[in-house]
A and B are shown apart, each in its own frame.
Chain A
Amino acid sequence: MHKVKPGIILFVILFGLWLLLAGADRDELIVAAAASLVISVLFAGRASALGSVRLHPKAIAYAVIFFFVFLKELVHSTIDVAGRLLSPRLPINPGIVKVRTRLKSPLGRIILANTITLTPGTMTIETKGEYYYIHWIDIRTEDIDSSTEAIVAKFEKYLEVIFG
C-alpha cells in the first residue's frame, strides 16, 4: 500500500509535466501515459517521501488555499522589502532567529523551509530537526515562540493538513 500512493502522485506529476511541455495531442498522450506509468511503477519505491502527502478533499482544498496564501505573502513581503531598499536610511534590522515547527514529515518540512526562503525578508539558513535558523531582515520579536508565530505559523497551519 505504501508504494501505491507515491506511484499515483508521481504519475500525475509526470503526466502534467508532459501536458505542459508537449500539449494535448491524442496519439502522443497515449505514449505519454504509458511512459509515465512505467516510470512511476519503477520509481514508486524510491519516491516514498511523497507518501506523506494526504489526498483527501480537505487536504487538496488546503493545498489550493496554501498556494494563494503564499502568493499573497510573496507580493506583500516583496513590496515591504522593496520599500526598505528604496528608503534612504535603509531601515533594516537583520539577524538570525530560531523557530520551531510542528510538522513531522520530511517533505512537509522541506516545503515549509523553501516557502520561508522564497518569501522575501526571511531565509532559512540551517535546519536541525524541528528547529529552523532563519535570517530575518527585520527582527520584530524577542523569543522563539513569537518568532515562530510571525514567520512559520501562517504557512504551517495549511501544510499541517496537507502533510501531517
Chain B
Amino acid sequence: MIQIIGAVISLVGSMFIFLGALGVVRMPDVYNRMQAGTKATTLGSMLTLIGIGIVLPGWLGKLLLLVVFIIITNPISSHALARAAHHAGIKLTEKSVRDNLKEDYPKEDDNG
C-alpha cells in the first residue's frame, strides 16, 4: 500500500516535470521558457524525491536534504540565467505587456 502511495506521488512529480518540458517547447521567448523549464523542477522534483522517500523510508533523510539543496540552488541559477539573458539584450516576446527594467536602465541593456 505504502509503495503505491509513494509511486503515485512520484508519478505526479514526473508529470509536473513533463509539463515543464512541454512549456519549453510552447512558450514564445527565453524568459517564459525559463519560467517553465526551471519552475517545473521545484514542485516536480520535490514530489518525485519525496515519493521515493516514502517507498524507501531509510533514504528519506537524504532525500529531504536533496530537496533542501534544490530549493536553495534552483532560484539562484534561474535568476542568474534570466539576468544574463536580459543584460545580453535578448528581447521579450511581442506579446509582452511592458518591460520596466528596460525603461529604467536602457543603456545597460544596449551594451550587451
Interface residues of A (CB under 8 A from B): 17, 19-21, 23, 74-75, 78, 81-82, 85-86, 90, 92-98, 113-115, 117-121, 123-126, 133, 135, 137, 139
Q: How many A-B residue pairs have CB under 8 A?
A: 123
Considering the chains assembled together, what is the distance between the CA atoms of A113 and B102 in angstroms? 19
Considering the chains assembled together, what is the distance between the CA atoms of A108 and B87 in angstroms? 25
Besides the known contacts A98-B104, A113-B75, A124-B82, 6 further A-B residue pairs in the complex with CB atoms under 8 A apart:
A81-B39, A85-B36, A95-B96, A95-B99, A96-B100, A96-B101
Is there an interface contact between A120 and B42, defined as CB atoms closer than 8 Å?
yes
Q: 27 A-B residue contacts at CB 8 Å? A: A20-B62, A81-B23, A81-B36, A82-B16, A85-B19, A90-B28, A93-B95, A95-B92, A95-B96, A95-B99, A96-B31, A96-B100, A98-B104, A113-B79, A117-B75, A117-B78, A117-B79, A118-B71, A121-B35, A123-B35, A123-B39, A124-B82, A125-B31, A125-B101, A126-B86, A133-B101, A133-B104
- Chain A contacts of B93 at CB under 8 A? 94
Is there an interface contact between A86 and B19, defined as CB atoms closer than 8 Å?
yes
Is there an interface contact between A118 and B39, defined as CB atoms closer than 8 Å?
yes
Considering the chains assembled together, what is the distance between the CA atoms of A113 and B83 in angstroms? 13
Interface residue B61 (Cβ < 8 Å from any Cβ of A): yes
Is there an interface contact between A85 and B98, defined as CB atoms closer than 8 Å?
no
Which residue of chain B is the closest to A138 with respect to CB atoms?
B97
Which residue of chain B is the closest to A97 with respect to CB atoms?
B100
Interface string of B68-99 (1 = CB under 8 A from A): 00011011101100110010000011011111
Is there an interface contact between A21 and B65, defined as CB atoms closer than 8 Å?
yes
Dominant SS among interface residues on chain B: helix
Interface residues of B (CB under 8 A from A): 16, 19, 22-23, 26-29, 31-32, 34-36, 38-40, 42-43, 61-62, 64-65, 71-72, 74-76, 78-79, 82-83, 86, 92-93, 95-102, 104
CB distance from B11 to the nearest CB of A (A): 15
Is there an interface contact between B35 and A81, defined as CB atoms closer than 8 Å?
yes
Is there an interface contact between B43 and A75, defined as CB atoms closer than 8 Å?
yes
Contacts A113-B75, A117-B75; A139 near B97 (Cβ below 8 A):
yes
Contacts A20-B61, A82-B16; A126 near B97 (Cβ below 8 A):
no
Is there an interface contact between A123 and B26, defined as CB atoms closer than 8 Å?
no
CB distance from A16 to the nearest CB of B (A): 9
CB distance from A87 to the nearest CB of B (A): 10
Is there an interface contact between B86 and A125, defined as CB atoms closer than 8 Å?
yes
- Chain A contacts of B98 at CB under 8 A? 95-97, 139
- Chain B contacts of A78 at CB under 8 A? 16, 39-40, 42-43
